[in-house]
Amino acid sequence: MRSRTTVLIIIALLFATSASVANPAGEGDADRDYTCGGSCHGDPALSSPSDGTVTVSVDPLSFSGTATAVHVTASGMSLSGNRLLGVFLLSSTSGNDDHPEDHGWNILQDPNGGTHNYVEVVVPPSGSVTLTWVMLAPAQSGIQTLFTEIHHGSNPNSNNWAYSALTRGYTVDVQPVPENLPGFAFDWTPETRVTGDDSPTVVGTRNTTSVAVQWMLEGEWVPHDAEVTGEGDEWHAMLPATIGETRIQYQVTTSNGDFSIVQPWLTVATEPAAFDGEIWGARVQALAFGLLVMAFLLSLQARLSPWDGRPELDHTEEVEAAETPPEPPGLEPADDYWSRLVPSEENPGWLWDPVEEEWVADPNNPPEGGE
């Protein structure tokens, strides 16, 4: 019997695994290969072609170690109710070692402010979205190829399948960097700031004698100049603090006596502020929560525990009092009743009741023949 139950459980798990070839809620930003490991939207062999259009814009010429922007525009997709879209930036489609960093690229920033090659975004009602990756070109010169792929759902989607589209390969000719070319430092990555933090943004550079920074809010057209201090390989740009859903973009221009290079636009990545509190406050709160749970368990135990073994209570007096009928309304006390009766000489042994107009036997002098 146990073996049969075990087999049924295994079969049910196998059916459940094979039936879920897509994840409508998404998997979150991450570093993923082309096939996604079967974890985010299922194997491509079980997916359907997307009805969307994907275009890629990238400079076909780049220098080793310099920043390059890759713009991906997706539009016209039939999306699911949450309008979620997953986008891959790849360097191959073999299903293994597809990450751009496997081919020498270094992702400075993804469209969501991180450093991943797979991101998820919510497509606006317009049905079109543009995502930008900023990467440092490989140190080794040569021809590099970049691909993009999109994954999304559909509504309705009875098979719960993912819909995917893979672009053609876009080639980038990576050439040796000219001597003394200013740019970002190879080990520099845009920092993440806490919401409300207005501390200077650190920019790491190489071969640079001066830096200029412009910033603007997302959706603006006219940039603003930022105050920049520093020298050598580290510079500090004063950018406004980000609050709520506000996003700030900034562009760095690295210069020296020979070159002036305008770098791609970057985004100030922000994260919620960490919990700020004292340890004793947290301990008191934990103690209060523990007492609340204990009180609930004690109340539950008192309600569900059996009555066996407890002494029985004698409720005889309460029952008898409940069974005793109440005195009828209007009934007079006995003293008042006997005091109103009038004796009669003509009828010895009888008392006259003037209220009820009737004769009542005198208990102290019963009529003749009475008891």
- Number of CB atoms found within 10 A of residue 11's CB: 10
pLDDT of residue 176: 93
Q: What gap in Å lies between CA 245 and CA 193, rounded to an integer?
A: 13
Question: Under the phi-then-psi rule, with left for phi > 0, alpha for psi from -120 to 50, and beta for the rest, what region is 180?
Answer: left
Distances in whole angstroms, Cα of residue 74 to Cα of each of 55, 123, 152, 172: 7, 9, 11, 21
Distances in whole angstroms, Cα of residue 124 to Cα of each of 41, 80, 109, 161, 340: 21, 13, 22, 22, 99
Q: What gap in Å lies between CA 157 and CA 267, rounded to an integer?
A: 35
pLDDT of residue 250: 92
Cβ-based neighbours of 88, under 8 Å, separated by 6 or more: 32, 34, 36, 98, 117, 118, 147, 148, 149, 150, 151
Sequence length of the chain is 371
The segment(s) of the chain belonging to CATH 2.60.40.3780 are 179-273
pLDDT of residue 313: 59
The segment(s) of the chain belonging to CATH 2.60.40.680 are 24-177
CA triple 113-44-155, angle to 5 deg? 75
CATH of domain 24-177: 2.60.40.680
pLDDT of residue 314: 63
Question: Under the phi-then-psi rule, with left for phi > 0, alpha for psi from -120 to 50, and beta for the rest, what region is 258?
Answer: alpha
CB 361 within 8 A of CB 368: no
pLDDT of residue 20: 38
Q: What gap in Å lies between CA 319 and CA 46, rounded to an integer?
A: 75
Task: Give the domain 179-273 fold.
Answer: Immunoglobulin-like (2.60.40)
Amino acid letter for position 264: P
Structure token pair of residue 7: 């087999």
Distance of CA 273 to the CA centre of its chain: 16
pLDDT of residue 272: 64
- Structural element, H or E, at residue 261: strand 260-262
Phi, psi of 309, rounded to the nearest 5 degrees:
90, -5
Strand partners, 87: 119, 150
Q: What gap in Å lies between CA 150 and CA 134, rounded to an integer?
A: 18
pLDDT of residue 190: 87
10-residue averages of pLDDT along the chain (371 residues): 48 43 64 65 65 92 93 89 89 86 92 90 91 92 92 77 87 92 89 82 92 89 92 91 80 90 87 63 77 81 66 61 48 69 81 82 73 46
CB 64 within 8 A of CB 138: yes
pLDDT of residue 308: 57
Q: What gap in Å lies between CA 136 and CA 101, rounded to an integer?
A: 10
Question: Under the phi-then-psi rule, with left for phi > 0, alpha for psi from -120 to 50, and beta for the rest, what region is 38?
Answer: left
pLDDT of residue 242: 78
pLDDT of residue 54: 93
